[in-house]
Structure 1
Amino acid sequence: MKKIVVFQFTVFDESIKERAKEIASEFPGVTKVVEVEGEGQLEVRGEFSTFELTKELMKIDESVETIKIVPDGVTEPEVKIQQQDEGKPPTNIQNTSKWPSDVASSSNGRGVQAYEFLGQAIDVAKLAKDMGVGAAKQAKDMGVGAAGKAIGLGMNYYRNKKEKDVKAQLEPKLGAEQRNIWGHLPEAQKRGLFEVEKQKKIRDEEERRKKQAEEIKQRKIREEKMRKQAEDMKQKKIREEEMRKQAEQMKQKKIREEKMRKQAEEMKQKKIREEEMRKQAEEMKQKKIREEKMKKQAEEMKQKKEEQRRKQAEEMEQRKIRLDKEKRKMMEKDLAIKKEEEKLKIWQEKMKNSGGTTWTGTTGSLWGNLSTQTSAWMGLQTGETSASAQTQLPGRASASTQNQRLTQRRKEESRGVDKKGKNHQ
């Protein structure tokens, strides 16, 4: 029988919602799944086992409850739970229902027709059972007793009502036949006719019971097949879930490996950077050492240059002092030469006045002595030997030439000192 079942969820977020819709849609017998907006409810339609679907939904949310079960296309019946039924155990359906043979024997064969409505009664019982399960879920202990008792009472009431209707239809006809026929027959024939009718009804009952048993058997086969299909679907979902978990684990493993690889790469890059920084630091250190060496060398060069300048300055000072001394000596020599010349002039004048021959010889002798002395002195200044000094021409011309050479040499020495100072700077 097609029905509508409404499930209530305590937590109905997006993940649970999608998962519940997927499970309900794939469940055998379900034709439609609708979400009740804003209520946290899921409406499922079709011909399926409410109990099995509830078990499947409880795997994702243990708090799920069945709050409504109604036939699809039929107005929802009102189920009332009597106050006196609270706390009572559920009634066993097998104890309350009777087999058709018992019904026939207890009603003199007139209640057999009620078995025609057994299929409908079973459907009603199933619906009542589903409703009872839903009520039991909602009302806990009170609903369980009421649902079980409602099933038994409903079946008994339905069967008794049908039996009464059949009896009411058969009694006028049987009464007329009995008045017309049975009144003229002996007692044995009356019992025989009744026995024939009874046997016929028993055979009909047996046929009906066989058909019903066959239908029940086929239904059980179908239910078993559906149960197996549901179990296969369940196992398939379990395998898919395991495969999904394995895939997720593999994915997470790959993510972790990728993260570890990135970390290893980062550590490698970090070590490379540290090595580069260490090399740069070493290069900077070596550079500083070289700069320090160059600085020391520059300082040493500076000190050497200062020392050279100082020495050159001292040498120039000493040379200047020597030149000054030599100049004074030259001036003294010049002064002595002038005095000698004056004396010579005076002497020549005297000799001229006294006589010619004697003056000439005496004058030549004096000039020879004077030129010899002058050449010897100039040889000391120029590094020439006394022999070269004696080769100079005698007289005043030789002394003036020596003076010119001495002056020219002093100028050259002074120019050479100036050039050395400029080159040093």
Structure 2
Amino acid sequence: MGEVAKIKKFLAEARYHHQEATSVDMVNVMKQYKGLVSNLEPYVFNDGTCRKLTNLSGTIPVRYKGNTYNIPVRLWLMDTHPYNSPICYVAPTADMCIKVSKFVDHNGKVYLPYLHEWDASKANLLGLVQVMITVFGEQPPVYTKSKAPYPTQQAMPTASPPYPVYPGAATPYPAMPSQAMPQPGGFPPYPSMASETPYPPAYPPASSGYPPPQQTPYPPMQPSPMASGYPPQAGVGAGGGTITEEHIRASLLSAVEDKLRRRLREQFSQGTAELETLRRTNLELVQGKSKLEGLVGRLDKDCAELDKAIATLEEKEAELEKGLGKLSSEEPIDIDEAVTTTAPLYRQLLNAFAEESAIEDVIYYLGEALRRGRIDLDAFLKQVRALSRKQFMLRALMNRCRQKAGLAG
């Protein structure tokens, strides 16, 4: 099955609303970045609901310090894509750790302005991946787990002294080799690897992004005369090359200080990134609160209007029931007596209209009698002629009455 057919099958199975647009968007980004493949997997939302969503998982090539690194990512597409932004994660392998920053939280979720300001008419998956490559090129989202945080240190060679040594110097202080210091760039100098490399290159160590400590934090040590087996000469100090208790103490303090400084910087960076994530979450919650308050206000207003309408309907229903009770208790009303006029002119108009309508009905039934053979033609014409003359006079009377009453003709 081809990749396009597989994507369309996934979209149809997950019941995406805009399957054609989503399929075109996925195919375009997969043509450009061969390390991404499509999958259909269940996704669990924050509220605990789970549904199958299509995702693009794999690696994208990121250029950093002249080298290319394959960053593992996973892009979840909502069923309303492209009208809602995808949910993006960095998916580290077993030998990687997530480096928290303002763009990536401790769960690996990616936060970008491109996602926050997603516009279906302008944004697409190809542009999203290109923005991620640019951002990750400035701040790598993962680093390689250190198997040995600090390399084994070799003890300074010295011969067993034939005399008691100073307190604290029973074990000579180990020399810190310069290779143990982190490199200024944070990334090891691996060669550039193309995106089709089967295994991604190593990622920067945990201390990447911080200024490197001083390469020579300890006092310089000259070859000790103790190695030659001769006792120290009285009055010979550091200038003569003798390692004293103060030298060892200063070296220990400097090493501990550098280690604490590095740890504090790492903790401060991680705390700052988490604080930024919490601030964003707080802003979203505040905005959601304002929206909910607006909805509650509108609902309260609608409830008040609904209560008012219910009260009006109840009043009208009571009036109708009261009127029905009166009608049922009274005697039947004669229709002829019920229709009355306010002036003799209106009464004349009403009587002429009623008589003219009756004549029209009579002419109709005479025509029906002629059609069925109940009367002959001579009788029909005679009666119709007389009725038509009378109808004409009534219509003229009605027009005259309307003119006198000032009614429309």
TM-score w.r.t. structure 1 length? Answer: 0.31
Which has the larger strand fraction? Answer: 2
Computing the radius of gyration from Cα coordinates, the structure with the larger value is 1
TM-score w.r.t. structure 2 length? Answer: 0.32
Which has the larger helix fraction? Answer: 1
